[in-house]
């Protein structure tokens, strides 16, 4: 007995010694998909310091911050010139980046920035090629919390120059460029979310996590119209297995509230990004946001699906003509189902029938309709009236 007590003490002591001699673990970022706002989809090249401050203010006053939108991300066109020491300066639209970071942090938010591994960004501004460590240190000194790193001119200036007619060689150069910036970011000691943007080329989901990516774009650019949103959605089926805490597929930033999207389309777009465990980066004009758009972006039940701690991305269970049924496993054995009418309004006289059996369910199932807030009971083969480009999004707490 006494010997057992002695042994336990010795084991405990050894344990704490090992723990204390270990280096403190780097705080883990993006354990759930990052949420925030990015300047590109609304402001594009016109964004200024004042726009970023306004966005930060609005995230707080609209309740979006409390709903989880934390990152305020400056996209392309903030970059100025490098000085004689190679230090990059912001341009006249961003007079003092450190002061801007301090302001954003003072609102309880985090600041993101943008660069390219090439000599130029996509909008033709200064990129990070040959200055990766220097730029990473600069970002850290400003207090940057997130970097979107966009391939842009690296393709022509490096990949095609150094490995012309050699696709695997080009791919390796691309991977090396991302891994290089990841190393530079980690060397700063500051937790910085690393967002890869290379439009989903070369099955990026297979190698992005080992290049340090917390998220990676899976497609080309989104636009604020249904055809583009739906085209992107269609390219996400099959990618679920690559997503999880710390590393996410990114079907691009939200267009909710932008362009020609109808209310149903905004709701369907947001619902599907949530099912995909996508980063939720709003891209709308926050100071002029309509109440119905705010209601979509701040629906807590819907956001909770995106932010579910298991981090399991939805799969497309089946399609029937233009209706798609997607399912997502949630923590605690719960489940989300999205029924999307992606097509024209053909179901007005002849409703779609939801097959629970094809989802592995038996029914009846008690569920919550996350857009109306009402409880509903799902039955096998039940008729559902879903308008064109609209969606039914439900959560079943205890599927049977």
- Residue 150 engages ligand GLA in binding (rule: CB under 6 A): yes
- Can you tell me which of 221, 301, 322, 369 binds ligand GLA, judged by CB under 6 A? 221
What DSSP designation does 25 have? P
CB 362 within 8 A of CB 369: no
Which residues make Cβ contacts (< 8 Å) with residue 239, sequence separation at least 6? 205, 218, 249, 313
- Residue 146 engages ligand GLA in binding (rule: CB under 6 A): no
Site string for ligand GLA, 333-362 (x = CB under 6 A): ------------------------------
Q: Which of 75, 76, 150, 250 is catalytic?
A: 150
Which residues make Cβ contacts (< 8 Å) with residue 40, sequence separation at least 6? 47, 75, 76, 253, 283
How far the first Cα of the chain sits from its last, in Å, is: 49
Q: Which of 57, 202, 221, 369 is catalytic?
A: 221
- Residue 75 engages ligand GLA in binding (rule: CB under 6 A): yes
User: Active-site residue 150, yes or no?
Assistant: yes
- The residues with which 146 forms a beta bridge, in sequence order, are 112, 193
Q: Contacts with ligand GLA in 112-131 (CB under 6 A)?
A: 121-123
CB 357 within 8 A of CB 382: no
- Residue 197 engages ligand GLA in binding (rule: CB under 6 A): yes
Question: Cβ closer to ligand GLA: 32 or 41?
Answer: 41
CB 235 within 8 A of CB 215: no
Question: Cβ closer to ligand GLA: 62 or 153?
Answer: 153
What DSSP designation does 230 have? H
**Using DSSP, how many helices (H) and how many strands (E) does the chain show?**
14, 18
- Residue 384 engages ligand GLA in binding (rule: CB under 6 A): no
Site string for ligand GLA, 12-51 (x = CB under 6 A): ----------------------------x-----------
User: Active-site residue 135, yes or no?
Assistant: no
- Can you tell me which of 51, 76, 145, 265 binds ligand GLA, judged by CB under 6 A? 76
Question: Cβ closer to ligand GLA: 55 or 197?
Answer: 197
Token pair in block for residue 255: 């267009």
To the nearest whole angstrom, how small is the minimum distance from the Cβ of residue 112 to ligand GLA? 11
With the CA atoms of 331, 393, 242 and 117 taken in that order, what torsion angle do they form, in degrees rounded to the nearest 10? -120
Q: How far is CA 174 from the centre of its chain?
A: 21
- Residue 231 engages ligand GLA in binding (rule: CB under 6 A): no
Q: Which residues are catalytic?
A: 150, 221
Q: Which residues bind ligand GLA (CB under 6 A)?
A: 40, 75-76, 121-123, 150, 197, 221
């Amino acid at each position: 007995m006494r010997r057992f007590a002695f042994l336990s003490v010795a084991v405990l002591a050894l344990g704490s010694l090992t723990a204390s001699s270990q280096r403190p673990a780097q705080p883990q970022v993006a354990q759930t998909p990052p949420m925030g706002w990015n300047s590109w989809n609304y402001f594009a090249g016109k964004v200024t310091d004042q726009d970023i401050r306004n966005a930060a203010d609005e995230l707080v006053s609209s309740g979006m911050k409390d709903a989880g939108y934390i990152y305020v991300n400056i996209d392309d066109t903030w970059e100025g010139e490098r000085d004689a020491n190679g230090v990059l300066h912001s341009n006249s639209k961003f007079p003092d980046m450190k002061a801007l970071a301090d302001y954003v942090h003072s609102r309880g938010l985090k600041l993101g920035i943008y660069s390219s591994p090439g000599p130029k960004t996509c909008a033709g501004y200064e990129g990070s090629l040959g200055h990766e460590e220097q730029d990473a240190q600069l970002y850290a000194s400003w207090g940057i919390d997130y970097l979107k790193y966009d391939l842009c001119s690296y393709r022509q200036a490096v990949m095609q120059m150094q490995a012309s007619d050699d696709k695997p060689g080009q791919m390796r150069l691309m991977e090396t460029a991302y891994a290089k910036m990841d190393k530079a970011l980690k060397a700063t000691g500051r937790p910085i979310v690393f967002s890869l943007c290379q439009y989903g080329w070369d099955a990026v989901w297979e190698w992005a996590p080992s290049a340090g990516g917390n998220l990676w774009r899976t497609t080309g650019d989104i636009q604020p119209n249904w055809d583009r949103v739906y085209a992107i959605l269609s390219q996400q089926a099959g990618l679920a297995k690559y997503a999880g805490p710390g590393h996410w597929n990114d079907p691009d930033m939200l267009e909710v509230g932008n362009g020609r999207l109808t209310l149903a389309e905004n709701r369907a777009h947001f619902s599907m990004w949530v099912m995909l465990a996508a980063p939720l980066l709003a891209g709308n004009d926050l100071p002029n946001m309509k109440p119905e758009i705010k209601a979509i972006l701040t629906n807590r039940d819907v956001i909770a699906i995106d932010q579910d701690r298991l981090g399991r991305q939805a799969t497309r269970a089946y399609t029937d003509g233009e209706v798609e049924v997607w399912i997502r496993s949630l923590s605690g054995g719960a489940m989300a189902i999205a029924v999307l009418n992606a097509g024209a309004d053909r179901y007005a006289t002849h409703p779609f029938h939801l097959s629970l059996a094809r989802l592995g369910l038996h029914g009846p199932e008690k569920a919550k309709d996350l857009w109306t807030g009402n409880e509903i009971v799902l039955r096998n083969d039940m008729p559902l009236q879903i308008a064109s480009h609209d969606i039914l999004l439900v959560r079943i707490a205890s599927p049977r």
